[in-house]
């Protein structure tokens, strides 16, 4: 059975939904507090997938995800390096995406825990954005294989504007095929607000590392794993929910490769 560690800390609020989503995908998922890994009550090596879910870890003091990122960097750095070297998967959702970026686990051009080169800043609207969005997907990542080219997922964040340090960093993301999700309109065209809910540079909603095994994304896949969760499920013919495809891809990859 594929074992999933859904990491949580003070302020995390999407951990239970993420556990349920992975269980629906056929995995054995459990919530694990950051302190349980720090004190060795739990061991990261016992799991094949690590998920950092959405929420407001540590109240987003300093900046979103920064404190939990520091926890990973100072207490679990070697555990995470070994975890990745062993071919395992990491997923960061919303606040988890912010954590991965601020810990240097993404974009990870050359190594893990590299100097931060991108960030997620305050939405251009200056407010919390809670809406469904359309995404253009890139199958370069383990998590997105077989996903519809244009899919829908909900977002819920106040700091989701993706900003690279400079044009050189953006070019590297493109050259290495690491841009996994972009905000688009329902017709698949480049999106402005509100279809791009935060003003992200190049409309970026999610990126992966060069291996395709670490994914960070602002939209919430755990909130669309059943057709009935879609606001128009009763009057539209919907394809398989994008969220459950993402979780099943992760579980199936581990079954086939580890």
Active site residues: 94, 220, 222
**CA separation, residue 243 to residues 15, 119, 188, 193, 195 (Å):** 15, 24, 19, 23, 19
Report how far residue 34's alpha carbon sits from residue 39's, in angstroms, rounded to the nearest whole number: 9
The length of the chain in residues reads: 258
Q: Are strands 161-164 and 118-121 parallel, antiparallel or unpaired?
A: antiparallel
In three-state secondary structure terms, 202 is helix
74 neighbors 102 (Cβ within 8 angstroms)? no
Distance CA 180, CA 174 (A): 10
Residue 231 class from Cβ within 10 Å (0-12 exposed, 13-18 middle, 19+ buried)?
Answer: exposed
Closest listed residue to residue 130, CA positions, set 182, 181, 194: 194
Residue 228 burial (C-beta neighbours within 10 Å; 0-12, 13-18, 19+): exposed
- Residue 158: strand, helix, or coil: coil
**Tokens encoding 231:** 């606001």
């Amino acid at each position: 059975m594929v074992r999933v560690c859904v990491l949580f800390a003070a302020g995390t609020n999407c951990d239970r939904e993420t556990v349920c989503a992975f269980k629906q995908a056929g995995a054995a998922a459990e919530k694990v507090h950051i302190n349980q890994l720090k004190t060795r009550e739990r061991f990261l090596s016992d799991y094949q997938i690590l998920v950092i879910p959405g929420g407001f870890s540590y109240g987003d003091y300093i900046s979103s995800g920064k404190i939990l990122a520091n926890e990973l960097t100072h207490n679990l750095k070697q555990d995470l390096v070994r975890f990745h070297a062993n071919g395992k998967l990491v997923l960061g959702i919303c606040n988890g995406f912010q954590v991965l970026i601020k810990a240097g686990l993404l974009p990870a051009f050359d190594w893990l825990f590299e100097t931060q080169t991108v960030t997620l800043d305050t939405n251009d609207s200056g407010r919390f954005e809670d809406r469904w969005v359309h995404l253009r997907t890139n199958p370069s990542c383990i998590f997105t294989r077989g996903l519809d080219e244009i899919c829908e997922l909900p977002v819920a964040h106040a700091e989701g504007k993706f900003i690279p340090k400079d044009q050189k960093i953006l070019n590297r993301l493109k050259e290495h095929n690491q841009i996994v999700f972009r905000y688009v309109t329902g017709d698949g065209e480049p999106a402005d607000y509100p279809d791009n809910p935060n003003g992200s540079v190049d409309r970026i909603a999610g990126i992966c590392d060069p291996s395709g095994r670490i994914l960070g994304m602002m939209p919430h896949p755990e909130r669309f794993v059943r057709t009935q969760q879609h606001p128009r499920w009763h009057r539209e013919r919907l394809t398989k929910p994008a969220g459950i495809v993402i979780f099943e891809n992760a579980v199936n990859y581990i079954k086939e490769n580890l």
